[in-house]
Structure 1
Amino acid sequence: MHNRSLRHVFIFLCLFFCLGLPRLWALGMTEPKAVEQESLRIVSLSPNVTETLYALGAGSFLVGRSDYCNYPQEATDLPSVGTLYNPSLEKLLSLEPNLVISSAFVPEQFLQAIEKAGISIVSLETQQNFQGAYTLIREIANQVSKEAEAELMILEMQNVVQSVIRKAALQPKKTIYIALDFGSFDSSATADTFLSEMVDLAGGVNIADDAQNWTYSKELLMSHDPQVILLSPRWGETGEQTRKEFTTTKPYADLSGTITVFDADLISRQGPRSAQALQVLYTLIHNVEGQ
């Protein structure tokens, strides 16, 4: 597998391999929220945490981020502590945070070093279904005293979700494959992922429901030959570059379904934009732009 593909897979797994029940994990302090509100200095190590803080009106508490925290655009003005798999402790400490929040894998040694420095850590794990987005929003809101804002946001999201479900019920079902990576390693939205539930809510039939752990086989893909293939751009490539590679590489070139490139950052991150992502997924599956 070439380096771009390896990096893409590792980043994806880091961001979305958060299996299990929701939990709040505080290192160094038993109550992270005990930090005085006006003195909060937060470093976010996960893109969906960063998005959520800004959506709650708490972006001003952020003093640092990871390389992958790229939304909203203003977040990119914050100093970065590096990648998820190789963050810089020196850089993080120089930002003088009193709270670090993550919803993804971070090396254990890195967490221990932060703990020894006396900095509070909240590590969020949300269940792999759509409800996990609401859980994540509520947990982050609790850390920044934005509970009321969180409930209003969730209510608005739920209204959008119900609208999509009603529209999807009127559409014929289509078989769907989400290609998160391909080549030496094939990654898709398997049965144990929140993306699989989103496909169902949007009125699709996810062919990868017969697999787990974000991993799929070429043989099963070719056997199902889905009607719609949603293709995620590779790391560092444009959508068209990835589409060209996919359509000219065996065995993918023999698939007969419609191939559509999608915004993986939007659709694959649990958080405030998950309802919007469901709406986008609906339009991609049914080719009904504007509905």
Structure 2
Amino acid sequence: MNRKWIFPFLAALLLSAWSGTARAAHAERIVSLAPSITETLDAIGLMGSVVAVSEYDDYPAAARKLPKIGGYSTPSIERILSFRPTLVVGESTFHTQTLSRLSGMGVRTLSLTMHRSLDQVEQAMRILGRELDRKKEADRAIRKIRSELESLRRRIRADHPGKVPSVLVIVWHDPLTVAGRTNYIQDILTRLGIPNAANRIIFSFPQVDRETVLSLDPDVIVLAQAEKGMAITRESFLALFRGLPLRAAASGRVVEVRSDALFHPGPRVLEAARLLAGALDKEGKPRVP
């Protein structure tokens, strides 16, 4: 056997073993306070380090089996501490007080903002990648999102060369609440080149009446439903506007879309984008590019 390559080969093995040991020695015990955070941790290969999640976490499948630390906005400090976390990750809008209390107890915490835009989602991925030694995985996930969104945008343009239909996304039924100008859903529509019929309304998720919906008069209406959420059906929504001049209702382009991806800003943006793009089809069937 040629010794000239044996020693470099052994050195590479030792280096690889040392790197694996080093990463294992710093194994994290992560508590996630929000579904979006759990899904982001999964996207960068860290689901195995998550030891507890919120009651609303159900993706990926492994999250359903993990212990729960309370509701989305009411996590239990005692429960969190019982899992001896090395890191607790929450969202800035909802978990500031919880993270502050934990930090005061000496627990390492991380606050992310990711509910308003895809830029925030990407930034959250970068922060987690940097803090948890998963920078390459985070960069890879971001590149995939950008590439596939652009591919889907091109397909929409090709399918609608004259004018891309406008869309009104309804996220709640009583009172009627829509995706306005500054939110995650609007940002997805923008990236896809789909006009948001409610873009002129400056609020994130404004409540609207029937007259406002009639004035917006979108080409397509999407009834966005979480897995456990809005109960209105296509038929009951159409009943609200029976006999009224609403273009989407008249053309039969009122579409039910059921997926938590529309409500969990994070790496499942591609699933949400495909569903919104699919709503442009007259049949309203989701389309996978």
Pair in the same fold by TM > 0.5: yes
Which structure has the larger Rg?
A: 2
The 3 A distance-change label for structure 1 pair 273 and 234 is closer
1:133 is paired with a residue whose SS is helix
2:110 is paired with a residue whose SS is strand
Alignment of 1:1-291 (within 5 A): 38-103=26-91, 105-106=93-94, 108-126=96-114, 128-170=116-158, 171=160, 172-184=163-175, 186-211=176-201, 212-218=203-209, 219-233=211-225, 236=228, 242-248=233-239, 250-251=240-241, 254=244, 255-257=246-248, 258-286=253-281, 287=284, 289-291=287-289
Distance in 1 of aligned mates of 2:87 and 2:242: 45
Question: How far apart are residue 113 of structure 1 and its match?
Answer: 2.6
Distance in 2 of aligned mates of 1:256 and 1:204: 17
- Tell me the amino acid that sits aligned with residue 177 of structure 1: L
Retained in 1: the 8 A contact 2:227–2:258? no
The 3 A distance-change label for structure 1 pair 68 and 127 is closer
1:178-228 CA-to-partner distances (Å, cap 9, x unmatched) read 0001223x3222111231132233342211111113114223212122221
Question: How far apart are residue 104 of structure 1 and its match?
Answer: 5.1
Distance in 2 of aligned mates of 1:163 and 1:149: 21
The 3 A distance-change label for structure 1 pair 237 and 114 is closer
1:100 is paired with a residue whose SS is strand
Distance in 2 of aligned mates of 1:280 and 1:234: 13
In structure 2, runs of 5+ residues without a counterpart are 1-22
Retained in 1: the 8 A contact 2:44–2:134? yes
The 3 A distance-change label for structure 1 pair 47 and 236 is closer
Q: How many residues align?
A: 254
Retained in 2: the 8 A contact 1:176–1:228? yes
2:11 aligned partner:
none
Deviates further, 171-180 or 273-282: 273-282
Distance in 2 of aligned mates of 1:74 and 1:200: 32
Question: How far apart are residue 37 of structure 1 and its match?
Answer: 6.0
Distance in 1 of aligned mates of 2:257 and 2:243: 19
2:222 is paired with a residue whose SS is strand
2:152 is paired with a residue whose SS is helix
Q: Which has the higher contact order (CA 8 A, sep 6+)?
A: 1
TM-score after normalising by structure 1: 0.78
Of all paired residues, the percent bearing the same amino acid is 24
Retained in 2: the 8 A contact 1:246–1:253? no
Deviates further, 197-206 or 86-95: 197-206
1:15-57 CA-to-partner distances (Å, cap 9, x unmatched) read xxxxxxxxxxxxxxxxxxxx99633111001111101111211
The 3 A distance-change label for structure 1 pair 83 and 110 is same
Retained in 2: the 8 A contact 1:208–1:216? no
Distance in 2 of aligned mates of 1:238 and 1:73: 23
In structure 1, runs of 5+ residues without a counterpart are 1-34
- Tell me the amino acid that sits aligned with residue 191 of structure 1: R
Deviates further, 102-111 or 220-229: 102-111
Q: Aligned-pair RMSD on alpha carbons?
A: 2.6
2:12 aligned partner:
none
The 3 A distance-change label for structure 1 pair 36 and 142 is farther
Retained in 2: the 8 A contact 1:133–1:274? no
Retained in 1: the 8 A contact 2:172–2:230? no
1:91-114 CA-to-partner distances (Å, cap 9, x unmatched) read 111111121101253355433331
Distance in 1 of aligned mates of 2:61 and 2:228: 18
TM-score after normalising by structure 2: 0.78
Retained in 1: the 8 A contact 2:54–2:71? yes
1:96 is paired with a residue whose SS is coil
